[in-house]
């Protein structure tokens, strides 16, 4: 078989193998709900909720576009226990501690430690990808869709790659399986880990509290805080108080104008003293008075 055929074969085998776990967990959840043990309270609309013993989210496992969501959707109650007992209490390397505890919990077959060790490294790299790479794909809907498709595809192939050792258990069988796939996901993960060390984290700029908005025919007076007013008229470098306003003229030139907002009648100089961003609009004739 070709490399692609081996990947598709592994994907099909592991998809079928997961159904025995789906059957056991969903049947157990149904029995607990029938006995009333799965009742967890009421939602905001007053409807009863029966998810206390829900242990798997099939949709999250099969269709998630995030490796973390994929892992969190499997054996959910055990993950909650691991998060509270191990992750929240480990002084350092929380993720590695959780995966090490999970491997020890499953037993002493080498496959468990290979699978969880690989999963820990891939989770760390996936977290860095989301932190450093994902913001670059959020600038447009098309880029966001492309990123979602890419991560969805990656999760579909990463899941069986990490879970196959649970079926073979022995070290030799795990080695032959990974060798037949050229250790491609391990190599990509290690390369990504090294490369991401040199990739800076994008800064998330904070939007200004208010902005001066106008067009050529209908300029507006916008109530502004000192930082925004200074940004509008950076050439003057003026420090304004909270009752200052940025006035955009018809010629596109930004000037600073102090608006003496009234307190008794709610108006001053014909400008409504509202608490919104746009407190008044001036026509072309009035704009020349600014």
| 207 part of a folded domain | no
How many folded domains does the chain comprise? 2
pLDDT class for 150, splitting at 50, 70, 90? very high
- Strand residue runs (E) in the chain: 41-42, 48-49, 220-223, 244-248, 254-258, 267-268, 271-272, 278-281
Q: Are residues 238 and 97 in the same domain?
A: no
CB 59 within 8 A of CB 18: no
Q: Domain boundary residue among 180, 196, 212?
A: 196
| 208 part of a folded domain | no
Give yes or no for residue 116 having a pLDDT over 80.
Answer: yes
Q: Are residues 174 and 236 in the same domain?
A: no
75 is catalytic: yes
Give me the helix-helix angle, 94-106 and 110-132, nearest 10°.
Answer: 150
- Distance separating alpha carbons of residues 68 and 55, to the nearest angstrom: 16
- Distance separating alpha carbons of residues 163 and 5, to the nearest angstrom: 18
More confident residue, 241 or 190: 190
Give me the helix-helix angle, 184-196 and 141-163, nearest 10°.
Answer: 130
pLDDT digits (tens, 9 = 90+) for 227-239: 444 444 444 444 4
| 213 part of a folded domain | no
Q: Are residues 108 and 240 in the same domain?
A: no
CB 28 within 8 A of CB 55: yes
- Distance separating alpha carbons of residues 265 and 76, to the nearest angstrom: 60
Catalytic residue among 75, 94, 136, 243: 75
pLDDT class for 217, splitting at 50, 70, 90? very low
Q: What are phi and psi of 267, to 5 degrees?
A: -140, 155
Catalytic residue among 33, 94, 106, 186: 106
Q: Are residues 138 and 238 in the same domain?
A: no
Give the DSSP letter string of 127-139: HHHHHHTGGGG-S
Q: Are residues 103 and 246 in the same domain?
A: no
- Distance separating alpha carbons of residues 207 and 209, to the nearest angstrom: 6
Write down the number of H helices and E strands in the chain. Answer: 12, 8
pLDDT digits (tens, 9 = 90+) for 71-114: 889 989 999 999 999 999 988 888 899 999 999 989 999 999 99
CB 242 within 8 A of CB 258: no
Average pLDDT score over residue span 264-270:
42
Q: Are residues 236 and 124 in the same domain?
A: no
Q: Are residues 231 and 117 in the same domain?
A: no
Q: Domain boundary residue among 196, 211, 231?
A: 196
Strand partners, 49: 41
Average pLDDT score over residue span 3-18:
90
Q: How far is CA 163 from CA 18, 94, 111, 153, in A?
A: 9, 22, 9, 16
Q: Are residues 155 and 246 in the same domain?
A: no
CA atoms within 13 A on the CB side of 207: 4
Q: Confirm whether pTM is higher than 0.75.
A: no
Q: Are residues 191 and 265 in the same domain?
A: no
Domain hosting 181: range is: 3-196
């Amino acid at each position: 078989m070709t490399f692609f055929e081996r990947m598709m074969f592994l994907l099909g085998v592991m998809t079928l193998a997961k159904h025995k776990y789906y059957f056991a967990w969903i049947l157990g959840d149904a029995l607990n709900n029938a006995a009333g043990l799965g009742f967890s309270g009421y939602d905001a609309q007053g409807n009863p909720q029966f998810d206390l013993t829900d242990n798997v989210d099939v949709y999250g496992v099969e269709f998630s576009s995030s490796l973390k969501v994929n892992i969190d959707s499997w054996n959910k109650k055990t993950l909650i226990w691991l998060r509270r007992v191990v992750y929240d209490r480990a002084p350092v390397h929380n993720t590695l501690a959780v995966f090490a505890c999970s491997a020890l919990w499953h037993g002493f077959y080498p496959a468990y430690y290979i699978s969880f060790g690989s999963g820990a490294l891939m989770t760390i790299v996936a977290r860095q990808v989301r932190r450093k790479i994902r913001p670059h794909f959020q600038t447009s809907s098309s880029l966001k869709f492309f990123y979602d498709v890419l991560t969805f595809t990656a999760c579909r192939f990463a899941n069986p790659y990490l879970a196959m050792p649970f079926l073979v258990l022995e070290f030799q069988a795990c080695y032959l399986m990974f060798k037949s796939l050229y250790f491609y996901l391990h190599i990509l993960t290690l390369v990504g880990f090294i490369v991401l060390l040199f990739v800076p984290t994008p800064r998330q700029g904070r939007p200004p509290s208010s902005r001066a908005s106008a067009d050529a025919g209908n300029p507006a007076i916008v109530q502004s805080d000192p930082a925004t007013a200074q940004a509008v008229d950076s050439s003057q470098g003026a420090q304004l108080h909270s009752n200052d306003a940025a006035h955009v003229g018809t010629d596109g030139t930004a000037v600073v104008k102090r608006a003496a907002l009234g307190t008794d009648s709610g108006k001053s100089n014909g400008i409504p003293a509202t608490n919104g961003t746009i407190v008044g609009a001036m026509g072309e004739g009035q704009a020349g008075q600014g």
